[in-house]
Amino acid sequence: MWEITGKSVGPKRFMPFEPLHVLNYYDGPRIFTFYDADDALCLACWSDEDDKNSRFLVVATTNEIIGGLESGLLSVSEALAQPRLWVVDWAIDGDLVGAWLVSQKDVPKDCQPHPRTMLHRSLDPILSLRATGPTIRTGEIPGSVIKSTVEGAQRAIKCLAEYEMEMPDQRGRPSRALQKLYDLPVQRTLAASFEVQFRSPLNEPDLFVGLGENEINEEREVLKRVADHLKAGLNWLTSPPADASALPVPGNPELSRAIIKALKFLTPSPRSSIRDMEIRGEMATQSVEPIKLTRSDRSILNGALSRIPAMKEHRVELKGRIREVNEHLMRFELHDETTPNVLVRVCIFEPDLWDDVYEMLGVEDTVDIFGIETGPTSTVRVIDLIRPDVAEPMV
């Protein structure tokens, strides 16, 4: 085991060293709470072991700290960052054979938790953005930095999620809870530079209320595809310049457009206080190293976007039944009877059409939709909708 540099103390103060609440277990308790000899609550974290002893890092703690650790508001390293740190050797027979008061800097890096390690993998942020710049300092973070970082992540995911929603014939039925998927819940913020971490919306307790098993699986698949698009885009943007001249998805201009627009939300603007944006998390990369985006990446994105042909809009007339109205997004599903091989079309509408949409929601009568589309599977922008007159019965 590693050589201890510190002040030896009597191990009796930590007796009986019996786990009260095991927070992490792997071939034995690895992280747990216990009461010391004075009935003070302590936190122990495994550090090293040999054939005879297991070595733990120990700090005094509180229920609030333990709660933050269990909810993902604190990393294990942050929970251990207390004014006093002890090292305790625990023999295989259950006795404490040594204890020392140490400085955290004297604990080898590979014998203490990594700064980003959470209590469980399920608590790892799904996406993390760290903004740096000359004006971003602890206690002096411009509000514009906070706003652009948080909103940038959510708008990027929204852009890709809506692409999935607008392709119902290829990707299944439009998601009923999709807006919750891209409203990424903030897990915590770190003030050194400025970092915001988002947890998975799939872990939100009310996300799947009222949904069946097939719909729940659809929600998971949508978020997975969004992550795949984001990873593909970041890999393209950070690849060598020769590759960056192509589109993120060469054979799919529409998807490439969505990916580029999403990346622009994550990339520092030349007018922003943010110089660099470091991106981590399983939604963006499989690597433990962050992906760094800079202001110069904006020019690559703008250039690639200019090479994508503009989508041409044209008028369309559809007939079908209105289902699944989303008040927040002002859109509804139209069970289409006009377009071959397309069962559902997503339609967006202006607030002045709300009463007409609501009147037709769920009824069996068909409605005529007049709108604008860019393709046979794209979202329809509704201009007007008319309920055909019901024919009067013959006398």
109 within domain boundaries: yes
Residues 293 and 329 in one domain: no
* Residue position matching structure tokens 């369309």: 316
Q: What is the pLDDT of residue 172?
A: 42
Q: What's CA 81's distance to the chain center, in Å?
A: 26
User: Packing angle between helix 143-165 and helix 253-266, nearest 10 degrees?
Assistant: 160
Are 113 and 147 in the same domain? no
Quick one: tokens of 375? 């393709």
Would 279 be classed as within a structural domain? Answer: yes
114 and 28 both lie in a single domain = yes
Q: What is the model's pLDDT at position 158?
A: 85
**Confidence at residue 392, expressed as pLDDT on a 0 to 100 scale:** 45
Question: What is the Cα–Cα distance from 233 to 182, expressed in whole angstroms?
Answer: 17
Domain-embedded: residue 391: no
Which of 260, 282, 306 marks a domain boundary?
306
In a domain, 393, yes or no: no
* Predicted local confidence at residue 65, as pLDDT: 97
Same domain membership, residue 269 and residue 150: yes
Q: Is 203 in the same domain as 288?
A: yes
**Number of structural domains the chain divides into:** 3
Domain membership of residue 283 (yes or no) is yes
pLDDT of residue 393: 44
For tokens 């998805």, the residue is 249
- Mean pLDDT by runs of 10 across the 395 residues of the chain is 94 94 94 96 97 96 96 93 96 93 95 92 90 82 88 90 64 48 73 83 73 77 91 92 76 90 94 93 91 93 87 87 81 80 81 90 89 83 81 43
Are 168 and 211 members of one domain? yes
Classify burial at 159, counting beta carbons within 10 Å of its beta carbon; exposed 0-12, middle 13-18, buried 19 or more. buried
Structure tokens at 102: 């140490």
**Is 1 a domain residue?**
no
The last residue of one of the domains, among 60, 89, 120, is 120
Same-domain pairing of 159 and 301: yes
Q: Which residues pair with 317 in a beta bridge?
A: 370
My answer on whether 30 and 162 are in the same domain is no
User: Which are the contacts of 344, defined by CB distance < 8 A and separation ≥ 6?
Assistant: 168, 169, 173, 174, 333, 334, 335, 336
Pair (264, 302) in one structural domain: yes
Are 194 and 147 a contacting pair, CB within 8 Å?
A: no
- Within-domain flag for 392: no
Structural domain that includes position 64: 6-120
Does residue 139 come out as left (phi exceeding 0), alpha (psi in the -120 to 50 range) or beta?
A: left
**One domain, residues 135 and 268:** yes
Q: Are residues 136 and 271 in the same domain?
A: yes
Contacts of 310 (CB under 8 A, 6+ apart): none
For residues 115 and 169, membership in a common domain is answered with: no
CATH number at residue 373: 2.40.50.140
Beta-carbon contacts of 120 under 8 Å, excluding residues fewer than 6 positions away, are: 24
Whether residue 249 is contained in a domain is answered as yes
